């Protein structure tokens, strides 16, 4: 083989990778935050008895979950401007990932909502709470606790999906790594470092989610 590892060139550009990582985190954070709102709303629609709420929500989830995210990213960035809906690279990607995460989180939240005993809603009604008060004070907090383990893996998966923003030249971690690779020709070293950054970040995210789970766990 005769290939000698030399990380010097990659270290010289390490700050670029860190900047890329910061942008990846920002993209994920923004998209997941918006996606969580979309997901929660959609989840309530999915379990609604009202077909006018349930059917469109079902169609949205089906379409998004059955379309590759890269196709959605390219469609939003290249096709929507043709229809008069023009967004910058970063905004376009956040919009797409939010829509994408909304569909996945809706399924996570729906499962969480279904796991809550119907008696708790009735107990809320019996003391005179409105449906909205029951949702905000009882159902949503309990559902959130129930879904934390699966939410954790969805969030990590969505963070990794930010690497697809490289396809539309958003300067996140993968895009910066590719740039360093091209400029330094240190292919193996560049992608080892980029991979390590992804692994470390995902591990930290998982640890944070586990800590949140412990903090919010209901005493028994």
Binding site for other proteins (CB under 8 A): 117, 119-120, 122-131, 133, 137-138, 141-142, 145, 218-220
Q: Which CB, 5 or 126, lies closer to other proteins? A: 126
Kindly state the smallest distance separating residue 47's Cβ from other proteins, in Å.
18
Q: Which CB, 8 or 220, lies closer to other proteins? A: 220
- How far is residue 64 from each of residues 7, 43, 46, 93, 219, measured CA to CA in Å? 40, 14, 15, 15, 38
Kindly state the smallest distance separating residue 50's Cβ from other proteins, in Å.
14
Kindly state the smallest distance separating residue 70's Cβ from other proteins, in Å.
39
Q: Which CB, 15 or 122, lies closer to other proteins? A: 122
Distance (Å, whole) CA 86 – CA 50: 34
Report the 10 Å Cβ neighbour count for 172: 25
Q: Which CB, 133 or 150, lies closer to other proteins? A: 133
Kindly state the smallest distance separating residue 147's Cβ from other proteins, in Å.
13
Q: Are the beta carbons of 31 and 76 closer than 8 angstroms? A: no
Buried b (16+ CB within 10 A) or exposed e, 4-29: eeeeeebeebeebbeebbebbbebbe
């Amino acid at each position: 083989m005769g290939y000698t590892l030399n990380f010097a060139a990659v270290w010289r550009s390490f700050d670029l990778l860190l900047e890329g990582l910061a942008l990846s985190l920002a993209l994920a954070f923004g998209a997941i935050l918006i996606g969580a709102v979309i997901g929660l709303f959609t989840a309530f629609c999915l379990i609604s008895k009202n077909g006018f709420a349930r059917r469109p929500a079902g169609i949205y989830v089906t379409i998004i979950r059955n379309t590759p995210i890269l196709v959605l990213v390219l469609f939003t960035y290249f096709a929507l401007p043709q229809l008069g809906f023009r967004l910058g690279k970063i905004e376009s990607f956040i919009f797409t990932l939010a829509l994408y995460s909304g569909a996945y989180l809706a399924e996570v939240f729906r499962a969480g909502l279904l796991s809550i005993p119907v008696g708790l809603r009735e107990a809320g009604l019996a003391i005179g709470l409105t449906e909205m008060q029951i949702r905000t004070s009882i159902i949503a907090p309990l559902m959130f606790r129930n879904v934390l383990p699966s939410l954790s893996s969805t969030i990590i998966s969505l963070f990794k999906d930010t690497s697809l923003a490289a396809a539309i030249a958003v300067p996140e971690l993968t895009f910066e790594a590719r740039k360093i690779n091209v400029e330094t020709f240190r292919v193996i070293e560049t992608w080892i470092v980029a991979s390590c950054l992804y692994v470390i970040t995902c591990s930290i995210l998982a640890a944070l989610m586990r800590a949140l789970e412990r903090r919010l766990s209901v005493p028994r």
